[in-house]
A and B are shown apart, each in its own frame.
Chain A
Amino acid sequence: MALLETVDVVKRFGGLTAVNKVNFKLDQGRIVSIIGPNGAGKTTFFNCLTGIYHPDEGQIIFNGRPLHRLRPDQIASHGLSRTFQNIRLFGNMSVIENILVGMHVHLRQSPLSTLFHLPSFKKEEKEAELKAEELMTYVGLKGVGNELAKNLPYGGQRRLEIARALAADPLMLLLDEPAAGMNPQETEEVTRLFRRIRDQKGITILLIEHDMRVVMNISELICVMDYGEKIAEGTPDEIRADTRVIEAYLGRGAVAGQHEKKVA
């Protein structure tokens, strides 16, 4: 059974249909990319999945549960974690606190045990801190736990966002342009990180990305969106050869030109 399934998801903003009847299936343990030109509705689709927007029509089934009427925090507690296109860290909190916020849904501490620092509270906090440090090491942020998040370099902030998303022990990770603004070496590193997350933690990854090296390198399946609709789906090789995709990215002329060349 698919881990995530969307059925005819529609999201409109006034007269603009940002996401139009998108049907999408994602199996557990895959790395899948969504690509498409700017304004194709990729981020809106993400926001529908994570509950920031409620879809106007259609259904979203995650792990056997319908998600489309839940609040974002409820969706997060069901095991769907995300990062943001423009980094949204808690800038004035320390790195480790950012990760601890990510664990919010798993911490059981009651107000009473918090006020009186009961053993259960201390134990849980200690374990949470240990886990946060493990995660920092895992994403390559060892030893900066007390830095304020806003003081991290750009690449570090991207990594921290991923660590914070992982802190919730998600079943699935949604990454919105995780390699944007990175240099080739950093891109290489985060690509390896994503693979490690999938291979070692078994977390399914769905990402939006413009950097085709990343997309073609790690995706097992690519879904292409244009004008709010899903126009193609397939393996990287299939997508590379798909005329509709080339059309969407380069315009009709490019495809025609290719044909002419072949004829000549």
Chain B
Amino acid sequence: MIPVFLKNTTKRLEQGLCPYILILVHMVLGTALVYISPRSNLAFLVLITSFFSLYSFKADRRFKLAAGMVLTLLIFPVVGVRNIFYLEVIFQISVFSALALGLNIVVGFAGLLDLGYVAFYAVGAYLWAFFGSQQFYILHFAPGTQPSHLPFLLPGDAFYLFVFVAILVAALTGILLGTPVLRLRGDYLAIVTLGFGEVIRVLANNLDKPLNFTNGPQGITPIQQPTMPQVAVDGFNALFGRVVGHTVSPADMYNVMFYLFALAVIIIIIFVTRRLDDSKIGRAWTAIREDETAAIAMGVPLVRMKLAAFAVGASFAGVMGVLLAGSRTFISPESFSFMQSIGVLSMVILGGSGSIPGVILGAATVTILNLQVLQGLSLYLSQLRQTDAVIPIINFAWANLSSQLDPAKYQRLLFGLILILMMIFRPAGLIPSQRRKREPASDEAEAKEYHGTP
């Protein structure tokens, strides 16, 4: 009874103006909630899930595009500067979406299980960290002994150039790491990529001697932020000053800019991914994933195609690395641990390996779970500890709860649970990838002929 009822309801909701109204109501509700209570996680969740209803309801493409633009270009930045933590969440979602989209090419399309993907992220980050800081001048100093008041090696403008340099450098690293590795299959490939990922991190940790390239475990700081014209800050204040409620400082504006930057990169990545997927290269990747032996027998050059997948995936991570270095102004090897690789992988698997909207959903879900749900739980628990509340039946006082029990530290548990539950219940992910349906080409040609001859 209930499923039938649900089915009928959803059918009714998809007719006429219904989807448009629902999407708008969701967006407006989310925005209003966040506006009224800028500290509430729940309100923010309502806002961010409006993206989901935007995706899942059937509506005109142009309407969806416009609504998406209003959401990402207008509402998110304004909401973000009102509560900078929201902006941080959105920025992280964007960064991880881009990383997950990159890994999706390697794992989802070409089926090469890469457990060291974060290495390419690190390459990009350290690239700008080295050239956009004073590191070049302290090559001969041990970490912590450098003189003060050193100039930056390159001006902030160079950041924009390095976004492109990072594409090349990361792609090259991908090819370099890939060449010895890609002759392996399956589990062996996973283990070796895991090793390479760790090698990059350990390199970053230890390259403070003989020449101090990475400043070792202390990390590189400060790193140049890209130059931002004052006009941007003034313009933003003039436009949205009233809605925001306070004048926006350049520091906040930087966060907005990096978010917009990440957004632009994601859009380019989606564009590139879709174009590649729908071509000879993408078909070759999928063929390799499905059956290597058959693919090579059909004339697909295995090694070259796998290297291409590695290079493309790596270049996306490289760009995001530069962005991270620029936005954080601090980079240390800790940011590129094995856990990060696993985190990105669990996003891909949760969302749907090979599916672009799925992977973005996966990145958003994991990031929100990580940053908001787990931390929210932590906060709630610590509040409970302060009270003298007691768990009823077993008579356990919350105050006695060990402070070791801190959900914010349970990232690993979270990733593990996601991976296990998805494998059991939805191995294809939340939004499984689908093959493109083609109109029969001959029909089209016939139709053209038909119309062409009067």
CB within 8 Å of B: which residues of A?
Answer: 50, 52, 71-73, 76-77, 81-82, 84, 88-94, 96-97, 100-102, 104-105, 107, 109, 111, 114-115, 117, 121, 125-126, 129-130, 133-134, 145-146, 148, 164-165, 168
Let me know if B295 and A82 touch, CB within 8 A: no
Let me know if A73 and B300 touch, CB within 8 A: yes
Given the contacts A130-B442, A145-B440, A89 and B291 also touching, CB distance less than 8 Å: yes
Let me know if B290 and A91 touch, CB within 8 A: yes
Let me know if A97 and B283 touch, CB within 8 A: yes
B320 at the interface (CB under 8 A from A): no
Let me know if A133 and B281 touch, CB within 8 A: no
Give the shortest distance, in Å, between B399 (CB) and chain A (any CB). 54
Let me know if B290 and A100 touch, CB within 8 A: no
User: Interface range on chain B: under 10, 10 to 19, 20 to 34, or 35 or more?
Assistant: 20 to 34
Given the contacts A101-B283, A109-B279, A114-B280, A89 and B437 also touching, CB distance less than 8 Å: no
Interface string of B189-209 (1 = CB under 8 A from A): 000000000000000000000
Alpha-carbon distance between A71 and B296 when the two chains are bound, in angstroms: 8
Chain B residues with CB under 8 A of A102: 298-299
Interface string of B408-451 (1 = CB under 8 A from A): 00000000000000000000000000011110111001000000
Give the shortest distance, in Å, between B433 (CB) and chain A (any CB). 9
The secondary structure that dominates the B interface is helix
Interface string of B292-311 (1 = CB under 8 A from A): 01111111111000000000
**CB<8 Å pairs between A and B, sample of 25:** A73-B296, A73-B298, A73-B299, A73-B300, A76-B296, A81-B298, A84-B297, A88-B291, A90-B295, A91-B290, A93-B287, A94-B436, A94-B438, A97-B435, A101-B298, A102-B298, A102-B299, A104-B284, A104-B300, A109-B279, A115-B272, A125-B279, A145-B438, A145-B440, A146-B438
Choose among A77, A92, A101 the residue that contacts B435 (Cβ–Cβ < 8 A): A92
Alpha-carbon distance between A77 and B442 when the two chains are bound, in angstroms: 27
Given the contacts A92-B290, A94-B435, A117-B275, A100 and B299 also touching, CB distance less than 8 Å: no
B247 at the interface (CB under 8 A from A): no
Let me know if B438 and A126 touch, CB within 8 A: no
Choose among A73, A90, A129 the residue that contacts B438 (Cβ–Cβ < 8 A): A129
B83 at the interface (CB under 8 A from A): no
Beyond the given A77-B299, A129-B441, please list 7 additional residue pairs across the A-B interface where CB-CB is below 8 A. Answer: A82-B297, A84-B294, A89-B291, A90-B290, A100-B280, A101-B283, A114-B281
Chain A residues with CB under 8 A of B287: 90, 93, 101
B286 at the interface (CB under 8 A from A): yes
Give the shortest distance, in Å, between B413 (CB) and chain A (any CB). 32
Chain B residues with CB under 8 A of A94: 435-438
Chain B residues with CB under 8 A of A133: 440-442
Give the shortest distance, in Å, between B254 (CB) and chain A (any CB). 31
Give the shortest distance, in Å, between A137 (CB) and chain B (any CB). 9
Given the contacts A130-B445, A145-B440, A52 and B297 also touching, CB distance less than 8 Å: yes
Alpha-carbon distance between A84 and B291 when the two chains are bound, in angstroms: 12
Choose among B272, B276, B296 the residue that contacts A72 (Cβ–Cβ < 8 A): B296
Closest A-chain residue to B272, C-beta based? A115
Give the shortest distance, in Å, between A176 (CB) and chain B (any CB). 11
Chain A residues with CB under 8 A of B437: 94, 146
Given the contacts A92-B290, A93-B290, A100 and B283 also touching, CB distance less than 8 Å: yes
Alpha-carbon distance between A134 and B275 when the two chains are bound, in angstroms: 25
Closest B-chain residue to A132, C-beta based? B441
Let me know if A104 and B441 touch, CB within 8 A: no
Give the shortest distance, in Å, between B105 (CB) and chain A (any CB). 14
Chain B residues with CB under 8 A of A77: 299
Chain B residues with CB under 8 A of A129: 438, 441
Give the shortest distance, in Å, between A12 (CB) and chain B (any CB). 21
Alpha-carbon distance between A96 and B280 when the two chains are bound, in angstroms: 13
Closest B-chain residue to A124, C-beta based? B280
Let me know if B279 and A121 touch, CB within 8 A: yes
Give the shortest distance, in Å, between B150 (CB) and chain A (any CB). 41
Closest A-chain residue to B291, C-beta based? A88
Let me know if A111 and B298 touch, CB within 8 A: no
Choose among B281, B286, B293 the residue that contacts A93 (Cβ–Cβ < 8 A): B286
Given the contacts A88-B291, A114-B276, A93 and B283 also touching, CB distance less than 8 Å: yes
Chain A residues with CB under 8 A of B442: 130, 133-134
Q: Which of B272, B280, B300 has the most chain A CB within a 10 Å cutoff?
A: B280
Chain B residues with CB under 8 A of A73: 296-302
Given the contacts A89-B291, A100-B283, A76 and B298 also touching, CB distance less than 8 Å: yes
